[in-house]
Structures are given as C-alpha cells and as structure tokens.
Structure 1
Amino acid sequence: MTSRITTLIAEDEPLASEALADWVAQLPQLELVGVCADGITALAEIRRLQPGLIFMDINMPGMTGLQVLRSLAEAEADADAQQRVIFTTAYDEHALAAFELHAADYLLKPFTQERFNEAVEHALRSVVSSTQLQSTVEAAADEQSPLTRILVRDQGKIFPLQVDAIEYLRSDIKYTAVASAGKQYLVRLPITAFEQRLDQQRFLKLQRSCIVNLDFVVSMTPDENSQLIVQMQDGARFTANRDVSKKLREQSI
C-alpha cells in the first residue's frame, strides 16, 4: 500500500484553516498531521514532524510564512527535510519571493477546491518514491543570482514563466508588464526588482523603464538623433537611450 503524504497546515484564519483541513481529508494520498495558527509554532512543528507537504499562509503572527521558509533553508539540518510548501495568501506581492524560495505553488485567496487540488497534484509530481517527496526547502537563492522563472497571473491563476521565454519588460513605478508569446502579464513589482536578477548576457536595459531579451530582437536602427530603435519579433519598438546606443554601436563588428 502506498504511504500517505504527511501534511501540515499553517494558517491563522480559522475558516481558511478548516476549509484546508476538510479538503486535505478528502484526498486519500494526504494525511493531516498538524494544524497551527502562527509562524513560530509552524516552524517548530515543521522541524518536529518533518511533513511531506505544507500549506502555509504568508501573513501570520510571530513569523511570516516567508520567514519560516527562510529559517528552514538557513538551517543545514532542515535543508534536507522532505517537504514541499504551498503558500496561501490574499496578496500577490510576495509571489516572486515565494517562488525563489522554491515554493511548490502559490494559492491566491479566495481559491476554489479545484485550484487546491491542482496545487496538490503539482506538488505531488515531485514525489521521488512511493513514500517521500523530493526536498524543496533549499538555501534561499543569492539575491544577485540570475532568475530562471517568475510567477505571473493569467485569468485568475498564478503560474511559473520561464525567464528565457520573456521577450521584454516595461514598467512604471509600481508595475511591470512582462511580454511573452503574444501576451503581456502585469506583475506588481517595479522593473528594478528584476534588473539585477536577469542574465546580463541575454537581457539588455534600453532605458529606465524597458529591458529587452536580445534573443527576440529583430534589428536595431539609428534614428535622426543616432539613438537606436530596437525592433522586437512581436512588432514592438523601443528607443535605446544615448549611452546604451553608443555602447551597442561600439560593440558591433
């Protein structure tokens, strides 16, 4: 008989906690082993029980869900724990940080039981044997290391987007539009949050509010002011500022 995946719920909202517990109970592959309502207790229970799956709210008393996961990642003994984290939250501004901490999924409240089941299925795809889950609580990524994926929202769902598939990013002060495969996803983060984390060999900052993926650039043509007009594969056109235009011309063969 296949062993069930031990599951912990860390959620400070009683109604949300009860709903999660009910949905866990309906899945025969999961076994609920603990419920806690604050981050400090959650950290202690995760270390004690070593659950295979964790549903964790981000905004909790004592410690946030992100702080709990970082604490686990920083402790060498816990870095090898067999656990997967599915964050549950009413806010999406922490999506990038959650994903960089290798969260299995990110459920944005209010979410349906169908979406809950999808998140569980996604997490369980990482099972490496009939009894264990592959560990995903790893050391938090270096803040200067390149991003490989980001989380975006589309039609009420949050899903990972490979950074290599991003064609360009444009932003104002608070938001960034991420273009990929004919779609643009609005992310509630400034472009500066991405700038230092993108592969500098592939992504080029043309101006303060625009970064392009050189793999999707069709051509660069100087205008009457000797600034380069960058033509993208999807037809978008951007003007590189004077300094960037000069550097690009100097680098051309």
Structure 2
Amino acid sequence: MTILKTIIVDDEPLALKLLAAKLNKLPNIEIVAQCSNGREAIAAVIELTPDLLFLDIQMPGLSGLDVVKQLQNDTMPLVVFATAYEQYALEAFDAYAVDYVLKPIDDERIQRAVARAQERLSIRPGDRIENKTEVIGAIAQIEQKQEKTITWMANDSSHQDTQHTDIKNRKIVIKDRDEIHLLKQKDIQWIDAAGDYVCVHALGETHVKRCTLKEMLIELDETLFKRVHRSTIVNLDFIDKVIPHTKGEFFLMIGEHDKIKVSRNYKEVVKTFLAN
C-alpha cells in the first residue's frame, strides 16, 4: 500500500482539525503539513512535494483556485477541493475528473477521494503536469459562467494592430474570469502552461488564457522572456534570486513569494543570466 504524503489547507481552525482527524483514520495517509491560508499552502507544496492536497476553496486572500494557478506544474500534487460551492462549479469538477468533498465533510466522500488519488498515482506516477491541466480546465469552465465586463490594464483602450506594433510594446490580451485584460509585457512576471491553457502572473494577479505555451512564446519579447522549464516561462527582469538545487537544477525567486524550478535542460538560461 502506497502512503500518500498529504497537505491540508483551510482558514477555519475547527474545519482543519476535523479534516485532519478524519484523514488520520486512513492507513494510507500521512499528513505532512496543515496550512491556514493560500500562501502557506504554496510554500508547503514547494518544500514538501506532497502527493495529495486537500484544499479549501473559499479562503480570504488567495482562494483555493488561486493557489492552484500559482503552483508550477512540476510541484502540482493531486487536488481534492473542500467546498460548499455552487452547482455549476461541481459540474465543472466532475467534467474534468477533479475530486471534491462537500462541507460539512463526509467520511465516505473523503475515503472515495483518497482511493481515487491512490489509483491515479499508480496509473501515472509523477505526471504532475496532467494534475494541473485538469484543474485549470475546470477553473476556466467555472469562470466562463461569470458575467463579462471589460478592464483595460494599459495606458489607453485603443485597438492594437499586431501587424505594426513592436513586439516589446505589444500587449497580451486575456479573457479571464469576468474581464478582458490588456497586459503590458513588462508587467508579466512568469507564465506556466496547463494543457490548452496558460497561467499568466502579472501585477499581483494570475490570469488564465486559452492558448499553448508555444503560442504564448510567439507573442512575447524573446529578449525579456525565457523558457526555464518545459512548461514555464519567466521574465528575466523579475528574477530576484537564483538558488542552486540538486543535479544541475535551480530555483528562481520571482518577487517575495514565487519560487520557480529551472530544469536541467534549461540551466544555460540561468548561467547566461548570471553572466550578464
């Protein structure tokens, strides 16, 4: 029997205690961390690389959905959402095979979610990219239900002619949640892929855009943005610290909270950056 390293996250202390008590009854669960907010959850996932994450959706600050958006593919565990969410969200989770438990939490549903997690890990061990792809697909479907408004995150709201706009000044258009954003490239910190979607991190927010990483690279200034992983692009201007890791890998600190893994295949990008 495989023991699942598990992190649980809930901003309500009693709910966290109850979930821990229920999970501790299961012989194949090892709780390695308990977190009370989204920032703690992201840090714990990066440090401990759990197999499974029980994640409350409705939390102040970073919601459970925000936590998923900010996790890099390489660190993404299987996720079970704890929620009292609207029915259309549950339908999206079901459509993308994303597990959830409804509050108040039910023992039988927890056991089912854990059993499914163990089965999926045995079928595709180590395939963390697929974990994020499924959840981001569900999140995108949930957010499409929102009423659309428009926010221009630019100096003006004029239509940009991509044929004649210098690539450095070309804004990135994102239909995200209930808004349409025009992001300046200099404001984008890093981008992570999840199947047919990318998560674009800019100005303290994370936006989901429907496109591949390859398509995203075509839109970006190649002197500013570099691929550091098969699923991750970073803006070199936002690298604050480079931390050596094992086997020729690195971690990049982007701002105060984001820690990005650089794979061995892209280590020359970091070496060139440091040389300059």
Normalising by structure 1, we get a TM-score of: 0.48
Computing the radius of gyration from Cα coordinates, the structure with the larger value is 1
TM-score, scaled to structure 2 = 0.44
Higher helix proportion: 2
